[in-house]
Amino acid sequence: MSNLKVDGESESTNPVEPDSVESSTSRRRFFAASASVAAATLVGSREAKAQGSGATETRRDMVRSILRKTTRPETGPAKSAQVSAAAYDSALSKLVRRITNGVTADEMTLARKLGFNGYLEYQLNASKIDDTAVQSYVATTYPYALMDSAQLYALDLGQVASQFQQATLYRAAFSKRQLYERMAEFFSDHFNIEYATVEYMKVPDERDVARKFALGKFPDMVRASAHSPAMLEYLDNTRNSRNNINENYARELMELHTVGVDGGYTQTDVRELSRCLTGWTIASRGVAFTFVPNSHDWNQKVVMGQVIPAQPTTSGQLGMRDGDMMIDYLVAHPNTARFISKKMIKWLLRYDPTDEQLSAVASVYSSSQGDIPSMIRAILTPANLLAAPAKYRRPYTFVLACLRATNPQMLRLQNVTGTQLRTLGQSLFAWGPPDGYPDTADYWSGGALPRWNFASYLSTNTADVPVDINRFLAVNTPNGCVDAINAAMFGGEMPDTLRSQLVTYAQGGTFNATRAREVLALAMSSSTFQWM
């Protein structure tokens, strides 16, 4: 593959800096794998170089200074491409595409500076990344998104929903904690609750379950979800009492949240677990979880072979122990390890995990008590990334990637979270069934035209989220424009074919800002940009 020529300049240089954090173990794994991966020779050698020796102190200082940076992505002219399209398939670039909601020039620069492991660790330690700029923007602009049910229930529910959606999208697009945002989205789907069913209760649920533990321990997240008023209402455990068993939550707790549909339980186990969870309900208006002893079934239960002993009916809050014990059992179950590992590999790496990958990640789950960062490290090895086929961006991720690349003004974001995402088929918190939006290419690939039209809308709208086209016209030529788009959308690694197609289009008529907007829309519409 030939390197990109940037506007008549000499061949671009490789700015990837050394990285010393790489452990010898994973480096060995990387080398072993890269030898076996077809077409990875060039990439492999580049990566090997990228992960060679370096000064630890210097890099730590740099990480510290980067952690302190608080601004949104740059708003000046997009930087021109300085790297080769060949890097597009490197482990580092695949990593950036997988753990962010879209490449930006800044993000790629950062990743190259930190190197593979440095960048991954930076994103895994999300709480250490200073994100105050985005946090204060959200707090100021979308105050409802930070409130509790006790405050929210009395407010305009349409406004609550709208601010909640906008705050979620804004953070996903512009937070520097990109991996955290990716995992929050994943777990929001895993513990899916449709907003329309529970309304304002969804707001604290998102905060106290998926977002609280997205990079924490999975068992803690299951426990938090089991105590979430929104979940208990959504899956009808609020209607589960000793005289009137409702199995809905108990079934999904096993089928969707922990051991999986083939997790080794029977209909009797569903029934028995439902009995354990009788009395788990919500206080008035769903402002809090509450356990109602009078609704609890105090008799003995047997769930998946676990005997939950009977308790005296006067045991009060101790009745909760039945459910707690079973949740402890379920989250420690090897089938939960495999079920959640497989789903996480699919989310972060590839649709079709190998048995080896699955076993490796599941064993990390078991040995680390479901520590999500440890699992992510096991999933996102350079070898695994190099061997992974591309994943198809869901519409929401596509929108986020477009917003990150173009960094528009936020005038009326509600038209993006409203009409635009609805047209694209992925309104936030609008998936009805408890399994969350699908994560398959088959499901989403039918919506090509709405994506093209979103790209067109984004590049031409003036009142909602207008893009400053001059950012892409610092060098006001077809080549200069495409290079700027390349830098903003691909970190300078746009594949050669796409680049030449875009230049050809840019040259196909009078080149001006209008043409440049079309080129930008085509770049976002391109097949390449739909994959990550």
Partner 1 sequence: MSENLHDNCACNEYNELATRREFLQKSGGAVGAVAFAAAFPEWLPQVSVSDFYIANRDVVVSIFLRGGADGLSLCVPFGDPEYYTGRPTLAIPRPDSSDPNKAIALDNMFGLPPNLGGLYPAYQAGNLAVVHGSGLTFNTRSHFDAQRFMEVGKSNDPTVQTGWLGRHLATSTPARADASLRAIGFSDGLVDTLKGGPKTLPIPNPASYGLLGSTTTRTARMNWLQTDYSATIEPAKTAALDAIATINLLATLNLNAYVPANGAVYPNTGLGRGLRNTAGLIKADIGIEAAHLDVGGWDTHTQQAGGMATRMNELGPALAAFWQDCVASGLQQNITVVVISEFGRNVRENGGAGTDHGRGTAIFALGRGIAGGRVITHNWTSLARENLQDQQDLKVSIDYRDILAEIVQNRLGNGNLAAIFPGFVPTFRGITKDAVSGRIAAK
Asked if 505 touches partner 1 (CB under 8 A), the answer is yes
- Token reading at 210: 């998926």
| Dist CA 149 CA 151 (whole Å) | 5
Measured between alpha carbons, how far is 386 from 350 in angstroms, rounded to an integer?
Answer: 11
Instruction: Report the candidate in 8, 7, 15 with the shortest Cα–Cα distance to residue 80.
Output: 7
**Of the candidate residues 26, 125, 151, 197, the single one contacting partner 1 (CB under 8 A):** 197
Q: Is 466 in the site for partner 1 (CB under 8 A)?
A: no
Query: Looking at 135-143, 307-315, 347-355, 501-509, which segment touches partner 1 (CB under 8 A)?
Result: 501-509
- CB closer to partner 1, 289 vs 452: 452
Q: Among 15, 352, 422, 513, indicate the residue that binds partner 1 (CB under 8 A).
A: 422
Q: DSSP states of 34-78 as a string?
A: HHHSTT-HHHHHHHHHHTS---HHHHHHHHHHHHH--PPSP-SSP
- Alpha-carbon distance of 400 to 451, in angstroms, equals 12
The yes or no reply on residue 528 touching partner 1 (CB under 8 A) is yes
Kind plus residue range of the DSSP H or E element containing 510: none
Interface region with partner 1, contact rule CB under 8 A, candidates 273-281, 304-312, 376-384, 426-434:
426-434
- Quick one: which segment of 36-44, 154-162, 225-233, 441-449 binds partner 1 (CB under 8 A)? 441-449
Residue 367 or 531 with smaller CB distance to partner 1: 531
- Asked if residue 497 binds partner 1 (CB under 8 A), the reply is yes
Structure token digits, residue 54: 């370096």
In the stretch 276-305, what mask flags binding to partner 1 with x, by CB under 8 A? Answer: ------------------------------
Q: Which of 463, 440, 496, 527 is nearest to 189 (CA)?
A: 440
Euclidean distance between CA atoms 63 and 71, whole angstroms: 15
Options 452, 466, 477, 496; binder of partner 1; rule CB under 8 A: 452
521 binds partner 1 (CB under 8 A): yes
3-state class (DSSP) for residue 451: helix
Of these, 445, 470, 476, 500, which contacts partner 1 (CB under 8 A)?
Answer: 445
Question: What is the CB neighbour count within 10 angstroms for residue 266?
Answer: 10
Distance CA 478, CA 473 (A): 9
Asked if residue 309 binds partner 1 (CB under 8 A), the reply is: no
The alpha carbon of 397 is separated from its chain's Cα centroid by a whole number of angstroms, namely: 8
Q: Can you tell me which of 450, 478, 480, 491 binds partner 1, judged by CB under 8 A?
A: 450
Using CB under 8 A, which of the segments 138-146, 274-282, 366-374, 502-510 binds partner 1? 502-510
Is 439 a binding residue for partner 1 by CB under 8 A? The answer is no
- Residue 434 touches partner 1, criterion: CB under 8 A: yes
- Could you say whether residue 531 binds partner 1 (CB under 8 A)? yes
Q: Write the CA distances from 299 to 276, 307, 312, 406, integer angstroms.
A: 9, 11, 8, 60
Interface characters, 200-219, with partner 1 (x: CB under 8 A): --------------------
For partner 1, the binding residue among 194, 324, 371, 496 (CB under 8 A) is 194
Token representation of residue 359: 């076993």
**Residue 241 — φ and ψ, nearest 5°?**
-140, 165
Report the b/e string of 170-180 with b at 16+ CB within 10 A.
bbbbbbbbbbb
Which amino acid, one-letter code, is at 283? A
**Among 359, 425, 439, 475, which residue interacts with partner 1 (rule: CB under 8 A)?**
425
Among 388, 498, 520, 524, interactor with partner 1 by CB under 8 A: 498
Asked whether position 527 contacts partner 1 by CB under 8 A, the answer is: yes
Neighbours of 223 (CB within 10 A): 18
Q: What is the DSSP string of 103-129?
A: --HHHHHHHHHHHHHHHHHHHHSGGGS
Rule CB under 8 A: choose which of 3, 141, 290, 501 binds partner 1.
Answer: 501
Least Å from the CB of residue 451 to partner 1:
9
Burial class (CB in 10 A: 0-12, 13-18, 19+), 35: exposed
Given the complex with partner 1, which of 304 and 502 has the nearer CB atom? 502
Does residue 457 interact with partner 1 by CB under 8 A?
A: yes
The site string for partner 1 over 241-270 (x = CB under 8 A, - otherwise) reads: -----------x--xx----x---------
Q: Which residues bind partner 1 (CB under 8 A)?
A: 194, 196-197, 252, 255-256, 261, 390, 392, 422-426, 432-435, 438, 441-443, 445-450, 452-453, 456-457, 460, 497-498, 501, 505, 508-509, 514, 518, 521-522, 525-528, 530-531
